[in-house]
Amino acid sequence: MKKAAMIVVILSMLVSLAACGGANETNNGTDNAAGQTGQNGEKSPLQISMTLMGGPKTPNAWSESALEADLEKNLGRKVDIQPIMLPGWDQVQTKINLLMSDKKSMPDVVWYLGSMTKEYDNWAKSGVLVDLLPYLQKDGKNILQYYSKETLFYSWDKTGKFYRLPGDVAEPSAMTTILRKDWMDKLGLKKPETVEEYIDVLRAFTNGDPDGNNKKDTYGLSGPTEWRSFAPILYAYKSDPENFMVQPDGTVKYGAILPQTKQALKVLQDMYKEGLIDPRMIANTDGTKFDEIVQQGKIGSFYRWIDYFNPSSIVAQGFKANNPSGELMYIDPIKGPDGFSSDYPEQTGGWCFISVTGKAEEPGEVVKVLNQMASPETYKLINFGRENEHYKIENGEFKTLVNPDESAKLGLGNFSWYISRKDEANIKNTPEVMELFKKRAETSQPLRELRVEFKSLDRPAWKEYSTDINKLRDQTFYGIISGKLSIDEFDKFVNQYYKMGGQQIEEEANRLYKEQKKEYEEYEKWYAEQIETNK
Amino acid sequence: MLEKRSLLKDVVRDKYLYLLLLPGLIYILIFKYIPMYGLIIAFKEYNILMGVAKSPWVGFLQFERLFRTPDFAQIFSNTIIISTLKIIWGFPAPIILALLLNELRRMFFKRFTQTVIYLPHFVSWVIFAGIIVIFLNPVDGFVNYLIVQFGGQPINFLTEPAYFRSILVITEIYKEVGWGTIIYLAAISGVNPALYEAAVMDGANKFRQMWHVTLPSIRNVIVILFILSLGNILEAGFLQIFLLYNPLVMDVADVIDTYVYRRGIVDANYSLGAAAGIFKSVIALILIVTANKIVRKAGGEGLW
Amino acid sequence: MNKLTSGEKWFTVANYIFMILLIVIMVYPFWYITMYSLSDSKLAASGGLFLIPKGFSLASYQTVLGNVSFLSGFKVSVIVTVIGTLFATFFTATTAYAISKKRLRGKNFFTFLILFTMLFNGGMIPNYLLIKELGMIDSYWALILPPAIGAWNIFVMRSFFMGIPDEMEEAAKIDGASDLTIFFRIVLPLSKAVLATIGLFVAVGYWNDFFSTILYINDKEKWALQAVLRDIISNTSSALQSQGVSLGFQQEISESTVKMSSIIIATVPIMVIYPFVQKYFVKGVMIGSVKG
C-alpha cells in the first residue's frame, strides 16, 4: 500500500519537476546566447535563425555547411545558419503564426506564404519587421537587380519602406494548352487556333476512337476541378471568373458576373452535353488525381504545367511509361470570337515572402547574407550542389550525378524559395522549356493587362462576403456546365451577387483599383530615386 | 439514504480516493483550464501579436457574422442532419458487430478478423477519400462498372445530392466500425460466465443469451458511450466532407466547419473559428446534460 | 453449450460467412495501399484498382526508411508512446476510479469539471503559450503531456470500474484494506481489459500524433515520426515540381507511392501491440483474477 502511494506521489512530482527543470534550461540557454553576441561584438560569428520550407529539410546538411563556407568566403565573416524547419503545407501557416506570436521565439528571418496577408499586415504595423530599404540600397544589388520593378511594387510599403521581399516569384506564366500530338496525327487533325477549331478537335478526340481500341472511352477536355482548367474556352472569351477585370470604361468588375462569362458557360454546357468534357472535371479531381488521369492516356487536351515538357517531369515520365506511343504538344492560347487569346498569368508579386524580424541584432548583415544567397553562383550551389560533383551540364541539359536519397541527405533545396532565380541560374530547365516559358510570358500578357492584382491587404468587404458569393458562383457555374441548371441561372446569380454584398465588393474594388494606380505612379517615382540609383 | 454527515469526516474517510484524484485534477487544471482563457477570443477581434488580453472586445459580433451568413440555416441543418444520421446508423453498428464477433469460437479466426477490421481506422481520410473517388467515379469507377455490366447508366455519385449523405454515413461506418468494437469487446469480456451458464440451464438459445445476458451486462458502457457521442452532435466530420464535397452537392453537404474553413482562407480569423466552436460546444453540452437527466430518470447510471 | 439448435447452426454458418465477407471488404483499402506502395511509380501513376502491384519497386520504402530524419523520428515516437501510454493510462485510471465512487464528496462537481474539458478548450495559441511558459518547447514532455489525460477515456474507464461488483470491495474493506489497496490489488487486476483498451487508444493516439510536434517542437531532430512522414510526403509533392521547383529527387518515386509506403511503415509497428491487447479480451478474466 505504501509502495502504491509512493508511486502516485513520485509520478505527480515528476511532472511538476520536469516542467520546472525545462523552464530553467531554456532560460539559461537564452541568457548565454545573448551574452555571447554582446561580449564579442563584430568579430563573433553571425548567427542567423531562419525558417525553411523547401527541399528535403535535412538537419545539419551539406548544403548548410556549404552555404556557411560560401558566405564566409564572400562576406569575410563566419556565419552560423540556424535553420528552423517548417512542417508540411497543411500546417505551415499555424507554425509560422506560433513562432511569430512572441518576440522571444521569433526567427531572425521569417519565410511565409503570400496568402498570409493579414499576418504580414499585423507584423508590419506592430513594428516587428525591419525596414530593409537602407540595407538593400547598400548591400542588396543581387536582389534589386533580379526582381522586376512590378514585382517589388507588391512588397513596397506606401510609406516608402520595404518590410518584405518575395521569396519566389513564379514564371510570368507556367501553364499552357496541351494536346495529344499522336492523336492529332492519327486522326489527321490540324492545329486548332479558334474556339470552333478547338471544339472540332475535341469532338474528334472524343468520337474518333483515337486510341484505336474500338471503345468510346476517350474524352476531349479534362482537368482538375478548378476554373483555370477551362482556360482554353474561358480565357478565349475574355472571362476570368476568379478575378476583377478592367472594363472598357476604366472601372473594374468581378469576372464572374461579366456577360462574356455567360457566353463561355453556354459553350461549356453544350460541350458537356455532347460528351466532350470528362465528367470527372466537374467534381472531386485535384491536381494529383488529374496527373493520374493524364497518365492513363485517355484524355485529348488539358490546360496544365509547362514543366510537363521537361524530361525530368514525373508526369512526363509516367505518361511515357504508360503510353509508349503517346506524345504531348503545346499550342498557343485559343482565340475567342473577337480574336482575344491569353494564357494564365501568374501573380506578379510572388507567392511567398521573406522578412527580417526585430530579433535580428544586425539586420544589415542579414541582408548581406540574403543578397549572397540570391547570387547565381550561391543559388546554384545550395540548390543543385557543385558542378561535376553533384551535377553536370551536357549539351545544355542538366544531369544530376547523385541519386534522390543522396540528394536529400545533402540537403539540396533546403534553402529553396529564399529568392529563387528563374533565369539561367535555374539550370534544371531545358533550353526548349526555357524558350516556352518566355513565349508564355508574352501570350499571358493580354489577361495580365485586364486582370487586377490587388496590392492592398485591407479588403474588408471582400473578406466579409466573398466566401458566400464564391460558393454560389461555383454552385451555379458547375450546375450550368453539367446541365443541371439552365443557362438563365447565370442572370439570377448576377442579381444575387449584388444582393449578397457584391455591391460593396465592387465599390471597394474600384476604390482600391484607383488608389493602386495612383500608388503605382508614386512608386515609380520613388523607385527611380531610391532603387534605380542603387542597383 | 445517506445521513448528512460532516464534510470533513467524509473527506478524511476518503483521503486515499482524493489522493488518487489529485494528479488527474492537477493535470486538468493546468493543461485544460489554464488555456481556457483563450475562449474569450470569440468575443474579440483577435490579433495574434497583441495577444488575447489586449485584442479589442467586439461582443457578439463574431457570432452575428456566423448567424448572418445567407446560408446559415442550410449549413446548420446540414450539420445536424449529417451528424444525427451518423449517430443513428453508426452508433449501433459496432455493438452489433462486437456481438457477432463474440460468437466466433475459433480464436485464431476471431483475432484475425478483429485485426483486419481495425485496419481502415489507420487509413487517413485523405487516402480513403481518394479510394472512394476511384470507386465511385463515373468514367472507370468499379461501382459504375458493375452498374453498366447489369445494363444501367453510369452515375456520378459524388455530384448527386440524393446520394451524398448516404455516402458520408456509409464510408464513415466502414472506416470506424471495426475500431469501435474494441471497447464493446472489452466490456463483453467482463461479463460473468456464470450468467451464461445459468441462461443455458434455462434453455436460452444464442439470441436469448445475447439479448438477456450480454446486452444488459454492457448496458452501462453503451449508455455512457451514447451520452458522450452526443458531444459530437455538431461534428459532422470536417475532413471527410471537405475531401468529398463539391459545388454540385453544396446544398446538402456544406456544414459549419467547412464553411468556417472556407472563410478562413480569405480571412484568417481565429475569432470566428472560436465563436463557431463555442456555439457547437454549448449545444453539445445542453444535449449531454439533457440526455444524462433522461437516463437518470429512467433509473440508469448517467455521467453524474 | 455443445448442443446447437438448427437455428443456431445456421446462425453460426451465416456469421462465419458474413465475417469472411467483412474481412474481404475491410482489408481492401489496406491492400490497395500495400500494392500501390510496392508498384513502380510510373506505372502506378495511371491509377486504378491495384489488385496486384503494377510493376514492382521498393524505391518508395527506401526513400522513407533512408530519410535522415526517419530514425530520429521513430525513436522519438517510440519513447513518447511508451512513456506517454504508461503515464496516461495510469492517471486516467486513478482519476476514473476516484470519481466512480458515489460516496465521494464533490463527485458531481469533479465529473462536470472533466466533462467541460471534453467540449471546450482554449484553442491552439493559449496551449502553445502554456507549453512555452512551462519551458517545454523542444522537450519530450511537450509531446507527452498535452494529449495525455482526456475526458472521454476517463468516463469510459469509470463506467467499467462501476461494473465491478461492490461485494468484492466490501469484502476487502472488512479485511481492513484501504482504498489504495483496493484500487491496486483488486480494481486494477480486475480491469485488465479496459486498461488494455484505453492503453491501446492512448498508444495509437500518441503514435499518430503529429500536431503536437508542429506546435511545440522546433528542432527537427526531435520531430515525432508522423510529422517526419508528413514532411517527406509534402516534399515529394508533384504539384510543386510542376511549378518548376527542383526538389532534388527523381522518377523512381512519386508523391503517391511515398504516401502509401509511409502509411504501411507507420501502421505496422502499432499493429504489433494488438495481440497483447487481445489477450485481455478473453472471457472470464474477472473471475480468474479474483480466484487468483
The residue in chain A having the minimum alpha-carbon distance to the alpha carbon of residue B48 is: A101
Distances (CA, A) of A325 to A297, A320, A426, C225, C264: 10, 7, 30, 42, 35
Of A12, A474, A477, the CB nearest to B23: A12
Q: Which residues of B touch C193 (CB under 8 A)?
A: 186-187, 189-190
- How far apart are the C-alpha atoms of A484 and A478, rounded to whole Å? 8
The helix (H) or strand (E) run that includes residue A450 is helix A445-450
- The 10s digit of each residue's pLDDT in B181-203 is 999 999 998 888 888 889 989 88
Q: How confident is the model at residue A24, as a pLDDT? A: 39
Q: How many CA atoms lie within 13 A of A373 on its CB side?
A: 26
Q: Which residues of C touch B27 (CB under 8 A)?
A: 91, 145, 148-149
Of B70, B246, B266, the CB nearest to A225: B246
Q: Which residues of B touch A462 (CB under 8 A)?
A: 266
The answer to whether the Cβ–Cβ distance between C233 and A88 falls below 8 Å is: yes
Q: Which residues of A touch B144 (CB under 8 A)?
A: none
Of A322, A383, A428, the CB nearest to C46: A322
Q: Are A252 and A323 in contact (CB under 8 A)?
A: no
User: Predicted confidence band at A445 (pLDDT cuts at 50, 70, 90)?
Assistant: very high
The answer to whether the Cβ–Cβ distance between C19 and B270 falls below 8 Å is: no
Q: Which residue in C96, C87, C283 sits closest to C183, CA to CA?
A: C96
B54 is written with which cell numbers? 489586449
Q: Which residues of B touch A282 (CB under 8 A)?
A: 159, 246, 248
Give mean pLDDT, residues A164-185.
93
- How far apart are the C-alpha atoms of B157 and A489, rounded to whole Å? 23
Q: Which residues of C touch A87 (CB under 8 A)?
A: 210, 213-214, 227, 230-231, 234
- The 10s digit of each residue's pLDDT in A32-57 is 444 344 444 456 899 999 999 988 88
C170 is written with which cell numbers? 466490501
User: Predicted confidence band at B4 (pLDDT cuts at 50, 70, 90)?
Assistant: low
User: Predicted confidence band at A299 (pLDDT cuts at 50, 70, 90)?
Assistant: very high
Q: Which residues of C touch A307 (CB under 8 A)?
A: 241-244
- How far apart are the C-alpha atoms of A219 and A232, rounded to whole Å? 15
DSSP assignment of A322-374 equals H-TT--EEEEPPPB-TTS-----PPPSS-SEEEEEBTT-S-HHHHHHHHHHHT
Report the SS3 class of residue A451.
strand
Q: Are A130 and A356 in contact (CB under 8 A)?
A: yes
- How far apart are the C-alpha atoms of A490 and A488, rounded to whole Å? 5
The answer to whether the Cβ–Cβ distance between C126 and B128 falls below 8 Å is: no
Give mean pLDDT, residues A261-283.
95
Of C1, C158, C183, the CB nearest to B20: C183
- Considering just the CA atoms, what is the radius of gyration of chain A in Å? 27
- Considering just the CA atoms, what is the radius of gyration of chain C in Å? 24
Beta bridge partners of A85: A52
Would the pLDDT of A8 be above 60? Answer: no
Q: How confident is the model at residue C244, as a pLDDT? A: 41
Q: List the 93-112 stretch of C: residues with Cβ below 8 A of B.
A: 94-95, 97-99, 101, 103-105, 107-108, 110-112
C137 is written with which cell numbers? 518547447
The residue in chain C having the minimum alpha-carbon distance to the alpha carbon of residue A55 is: C247
Backbone angles phi, psi at A246, to 5 degrees: -75, 130
Would the pLDDT of B289 be above 60? Answer: yes
Q: Which range (B4-8, B241-245, C89-93, C150-154) has the least confidence?
A: B4-8
Measure A98 CA to nearest chain C CA, in Å.
Answer: 7
Would the pLDDT of C281 be above 80? Answer: no
Q: Which residues of A touch B71 (CB under 8 A)?
A: 468, 471
Give mean pLDDT, residues B131-155.
89
Question: pTM to 2 decimals?
Answer: 0.88
- How far apart are the C-alpha atoms of B48 and B271, rounded to whole Å? 10
Q: How confident is the model at residue A146, as a pLDDT? A: 94
Say yes or no: B3 contacts chain A, CB-CB below 8 A.
no
Would the pLDDT of B45 be above 70? Answer: yes
Of B48, B71, B139, the CB nearest to A279: B139
Size of interface B-C (CB pairs under 8 A): 249
The residue in chain C having the minimum alpha-carbon distance to the alpha carbon of residue B36 is: C122
The answer to whether the Cβ–Cβ distance between A91 and C211 falls below 8 Å is: yes
For residue A429, give the DSSP letter: S
Q: How confident is the model at residue A30, as a pLDDT? A: 38
User: Predicted confidence band at C246 (pLDDT cuts at 50, 70, 90)?
Assistant: very low
The answer to whether the Cβ–Cβ distance between A283 and B139 falls below 8 Å is: no
Of B24, B111, B278, the CB nearest to C149: B24
Backbone angles phi, psi at A162, to 5 degrees: -120, 105
For residue A387, give the DSSP letter: B
DSSP assignment of A194-218 equals BHHHHHHHHHHHHHS-TT-SSS---
- How far apart are the C-alpha atoms of C276 and A420, rounded to whole Å? 52
- Mean pLDDT of the residues in chain C: 86
Chain A residues in contact with chain B using a Cβ-Cβ cutoff of 8 Å: 5, 8, 11-12, 15, 93, 97, 100-101, 115-116, 118-119, 122-123, 126, 128, 217, 219, 225, 278-280, 282-285, 289, 462-464, 466-468, 471, 474-475, 477-479, 482, 484, 500
Would the pLDDT of B268 be above 60? Answer: yes
The answer to whether the Cβ–Cβ distance between C68 and A174 falls below 8 Å is: no
The answer to whether the Cβ–Cβ distance between C97 and B17 falls below 8 Å is: yes
- How far apart are the C-alpha atoms of B20 and C92, rounded to whole Å? 10
Would the pLDDT of B259 be above 90? Answer: yes
DSSP E strands in A114-204: the ranges are 156-157, 161-162, 165-168, 175-180
- How far apart are the C-alpha atoms of C29 and B132, rounded to whole Å? 10
The dihedral built from the CA positions of residue A377, A380, A383 and A389, taken in this order, carries a sign that is: negative
Of A105, A168, A296, the CB nearest to C47: A296
- How far apart are the C-alpha atoms of A433 and A397, rounded to whole Å? 11
- The 10s digit of each residue's pLDDT in B70-119 is 899 999 999 999 999 999 999 999 999 999 999 998 888 999 999 999 99
Q: How confident is the model at residue B47, as a pLDDT? A: 83
N- to C-terminal Cα separation, chain C: 26
Q: Which residues of B touch C112 (CB under 8 A)?
A: 304
Q: Which amino acid is at A430?
A: T
B80 is written with which cell numbers? 445536424
Here the ipTM equals: 0.91
User: Predicted confidence band at A273 (pLDDT cuts at 50, 70, 90)?
Assistant: very high
Measure B40 CA to nearest chain A CA, in Å.
Answer: 18
Measure A480 CA to nearest chain C CA, in Å.
Answer: 29
- Best of B62, B112, B119, B202 to disrupt the C interface (most C CBs within 10 Å) is B119
Q: How confident is the model at residue C248, as a pLDDT? A: 39
- Best of C30, C115, C155 to disrupt the B interface (most B CBs within 10 Å) is C115
The residue whose grid cell reads 562576406 is A75
- How far apart are the C-alpha atoms of A219 and C54, rounded to whole Å? 24
The dihedral built from the CA positions of residue C258, C259, C264 and C269, taken in this order, carries a sign that is: positive
The answer to whether the Cβ–Cβ distance between A87 and C239 falls below 8 Å is: no
For residue A131, give the DSSP letter: P
- How far apart are the C-alpha atoms of A447 and A238, rounded to whole Å? 8
A448 is written with which cell numbers? 495580365
The residue in chain C having the minimum alpha-carbon distance to the alpha carbon of residue A297 is: C46
Q: How confident is the model at residue B52, as a pLDDT? A: 86
The residue in chain B having the minimum alpha-carbon distance to the alpha carbon of residue C8 is: B206
- How far apart are the C-alpha atoms of C111 and C158, rounded to whole Å? 10
Q: Subunits with at least 3 CB pairs below 8 A relative to chain C?
A: A, B
Would the pLDDT of A356 be above 90? Answer: yes
The residue in chain C having the minimum alpha-carbon distance to the alpha carbon of residue B18 is: C98
- Best of A471, A484, A492, A500 to disrupt the B interface (most B CBs within 10 Å) is A471
Q: Which residues of B touch A93 (CB under 8 A)?
A: 268
The answer to whether the Cβ–Cβ distance between C15 and B122 falls below 8 Å is: no
The three-state DSSP-derived secondary structure of chain C is: CCCCCHHHHHHHHHHHHHHHHHHHHHHHHHHHHHHHHCCCHHHHCCCCCCCCCCCCCCHHHHHHHHCCCHHHHHHHHHHHHHHHHHHHHHHHHHHHHHCCCCCCCCHHHHHHHHHHHHHCCCCHHHHHHHHHHCCCCCCHHHHHCCCCCCHHHHHHHHHHHHCCCHHHHHHHHHCCCCHHHHHHHHHHHHCHHHHHHHHHHHHHHHHHCCHHHHHHCCCHHHCCHHHHHHHHHHHCCHHHHHCCCCCCCCCCCCHHHHHHHHHHHHHHHHHCCHHHHHHHHCCCHHHHHHHC
Q: Which range (A20-29, A472-481, B35-44, B161-170) has the least confidence?
A: A20-29
Q: Which amino acid is at A282?
A: I
DSSP assignment of A42-63 equals GGSPEEEEEEE-STT--TT-HH
- How far apart are the C-alpha atoms of B57 and A418, rounded to whole Å? 38
User: Predicted confidence band at A190 (pLDDT cuts at 50, 70, 90)?
Assistant: very high
Would you tell me how many other CB atoms lie within 10 Å of the CB of residue C268?
Answer: 10
Give mean pLDDT, residues C93-117.
94
Q: How confident is the model at residue C1, as a pLDDT? A: 46
Q: Which residues of C touch A308 (CB under 8 A)?
A: 242
